[in-house]
Chain A
């Protein structure tokens, strides 16, 4: 069983259509609506947990994309603007997982995203403000 939480952005022209019903009917996918909203401009926003086989999941995602639904991941990550990093080291005071650490003897500040717990403490601890919270890259969802 493959499962992911996704954020779907519906353009106004298709908000009225029962699109997600087809995820079950055509692709045998389970969906759980975690949040849904239609804006005053009639654009739709829906947070869905979608489960099924990996193959069906991919087909379902392709179907949604073909209907001009923009998909982002609900998962977030912390990104560093490497070019702007001054390698001061201030962030290493508060990083609880040592995702931000100092490479010695060079004294370079290393960011190992794999160790990051997305606690967000570094965002305001960085005096140059180069740590940013961002929606996880969705490219790998569609592979």
Chain B
């Protein structure tokens, strides 16, 4: 307090939301507002900036409790449409991971594999209300005598279904090229040889963590848009990093912060949780995620006003380099350049390919804005910062 000219609290902003007086804009709309009026005036007028991202987020999954049967069972193996879920938990709990392929998938035995169905697809089928075949096995104990279970279920048959993603919303990510002479199949999509294309994955100026580069307003308890429903930030994500190189305005130049997020799968929608199949790589889940950023002061207004041209990432070789743990940068590019369709790498003009949907990211930021304005979606005040 004191060092800013505008000072607002979460409580004050929530009061304004409740009385329908809050001013909410998206992370794209705030850019011109700050440009025209300055950060102080913008912070005075705007209360919340909404962000959004929709992209494959491999470190995603769901805790599912399949409910007890008579006689009781203590599952040691659980399959959903033949996709195994980790069952080394109590009785009928399991964790279904997004990248888990189905049991009879030939994987990359016939290279490049197709990976048509995995954990991410089961999650999408469940939220779409589709019937899913459940098979479970167990060894018999005195208290849990049943050893086998097979039935068809829908999402609502499960006692609990909690989306629990240990690493989402990566703050910045590599731009992938392939400098080898062979085509490469990766989680960054298909990479043609000799720098045939440059793939990147971010919603840049709409991206949640690029709009709050030091996570000054995002922490445990931040209420978010997750998979089409309300969810929460519950911890920092795995591989979360703060000590990284930053631009002059404080934004990381390499992959850095991440979020651990949770929400009730039963409230979510197949539009915002979409099973993905990456040829030659594996299965995944595209997750729709949006974070509202409270404009507590002019500093936050300035952070959220960041545009594609002021956000940078590194070009990394996924041909031979990445797999060998060599993350050498072949240049720094702005998201403005990447979005233009071509970039220059080592004097060669290279086609750029996005993997993160800007169309969907924009829709999420808009939806979150409407939730705050019309449904009284209140900001969650962080109880702990990362």
Contact = CB atoms under 8 A, between A and B. Distances in A.
Contacts of A129: 116, 277
A119 interface: no
Interface string A98-110: 0000101111100
Contacts of B355: 88-90
Contacts of B54: 86
A87 B353 contact: no
A87 B358 contact: yes
B382 to A, nearest CB: 30
A93 B56 contact: no
A138 to B, nearest CB: 29
Contact of B274 (A86, A92, A93, A125): A86
Nearest to A101: B341
B196 to A, nearest CB: 8
A141 interface: no
B340 A104 contact: yes
A107 B356 CA distance: 10
A106 B28 CA distance: 12
Interface in B320-375: 339-341, 351, 353-360
A127 interface: yes
Contact of A128 (B196, B197, B276, B339): B276
B190 A93 contact: yes
Interface in B106-135: 114, 116
Contacts of B116: 129
Given A87-B359, A127-B276, A94 B341 contact: no
A89 B354 contact: yes
Contact of A104 (B277, B341, B353): B341
Contacts of B197: 93
B290 interface: no
A33 B356 CA distance: 49
A107 B341 contact: no
B167 interface: no
Nearest to B189: A90
A34 interface: no
Contacts of A128: 274-277, 286
Contacts of B196: 93
Contacts of A127: 56, 189, 276-278, 284, 286
- Say which size band chain A's interface belongs to: 10 to 19
B224 interface: no
B192 interface: yes
A125 B279 contact: yes
Contacts, number: 72
Nearest to B113: A124
B302 interface: no
A107 B189 CA distance: 18
B199 interface: yes
B257 to A, nearest CB: 23
B244 to A, nearest CB: 26
A90 B277 CA distance: 11
A107 B339 contact: yes
A136 to B, nearest CB: 25
Contacts of B56: 127
Nearest to B197: A93
Contacts of B278: 127
Which of B54, B351, B353 has the most CB atoms of chain A within a 10 A radius of its CB?
Answer: B353
Contacts of B268: none
Given A86-B274, A127-B284, A93 B359 contact: no
Contacts of A87: 357-360
Interface string A69-105: 0000000000000000011111011100000001011
Nearest to A128: B274
A125 B356 contact: no
Interface in B286-327: 286
A93 B192 CA distance: 8
Interface of A: 86-90, 92-94, 102, 104-108, 124-125, 127-129
Closest 10 CB pairs of A and B: A107-B358, A89-B354, A87-B359, A127-B276, A93-B353, A124-B279, A93-B197, A90-B189, A87-B357, A88-B357
14 contacts: A87-B357, A88-B55, A88-B355, A89-B353, A89-B354, A92-B353, A93-B189, A93-B190, A93-B197, A94-B190, A107-B358, A125-B279, A128-B275, A129-B116
Given A86-B286, A93-B353, 12 more contacts: A86-B54, A86-B359, A88-B55, A88-B356, A93-B189, A93-B192, A102-B341, A104-B340, A124-B277, A125-B190, A127-B284, A127-B286
